[in-house]
Chain A
């Protein structure tokens, strides 16, 4: 008798629990997004130095950056050299026809 009562009580409770639990569908990609957030939380924060070091250690990036820098520097050197050379060439000519010019 008491067994019957207990069994019917469990079934009632089970029905009640099932009714209380919402049966909502999980959004797509829910699991992977949860894992991603966990991984991000575990990764240490990357500072500017680490990021820069990472670029320097990436051969493709390092080579391209160095090449761009060298080309820019060579361009600036050429412009400066042409200006200096123009003045030197003028002084050289004037000094060749007027030797006192080089002593000024």
Chain B
């Protein structure tokens, strides 16, 4: 293809401009994104406009909660393993399922207690908002899922009588 000198200049110019713009866009996007999610609690500080003293209290509560959460996760994983073994052996899984459900419920209850404590470490209005937001983000998923199960038509997997 025979391209004129002007066309080649324009093409090269557009290419350089596009590369420079793309680099600038990607670099600032990464930088800002990384800056925003610097650590586990950076969102809390910004979203609920917490001061340094409030942030220290929240940090202490968070650090106190983490080992309990990890311990609960380990117990649930262990119980899950026991359930799988029982299923492999052909044993009735009822008892293991109950124990697993109990552990999951205890884990959720512990998490909700933690949310309560954190909300109390915040100014009242922000604490209320935090509690609503966290319940929606954590329990809301299960509630939506369970609610959607009721919407499945009788011909499907649903249990609702229609």
How many contacts between A and B, using CB within 8 angstroms? Answer: 125
- Quick check: is A12 within 8 A (CB to CB) of the other chain? no
- Quick check: is A9 within 8 A (CB to CB) of the other chain? no
* Closest partner residue, chain B, to A49 (CB atom): B6
Q: Are A77 and B111 in contact (CB under 8 A)?
A: no
Q: Are B6 and A52 in contact (CB under 8 A)?
A: yes
Q: Are B41 and A93 in contact (CB under 8 A)?
A: yes
Q: Are A56 and B47 in contact (CB under 8 A)?
A: no
Q: Are B40 and A80 in contact (CB under 8 A)?
A: no
Q: Are A98 and B42 in contact (CB under 8 A)?
A: no
A82 to B33, CA, bound (A): 5
A-side interface residues, number (CB < 8 Å): 38
Given A53-B10, A78-B28, A81-B31, do A101 and B40 touch, yes or no (CB 8 Å)? no
Report chain A residues within 8 Å CB of B25: 73-74, 76-77, 80
Q: Are A81 and B36 in contact (CB under 8 A)?
A: yes
A90 to B73, CA, bound (A): 21
B: residues with CB less than 8 A from A are 4-7, 9-10, 12-13, 16-17, 20-22, 24-44, 46-47, 62, 65-66, 69, 73, 111, 114-115, 134, 137-138, 141
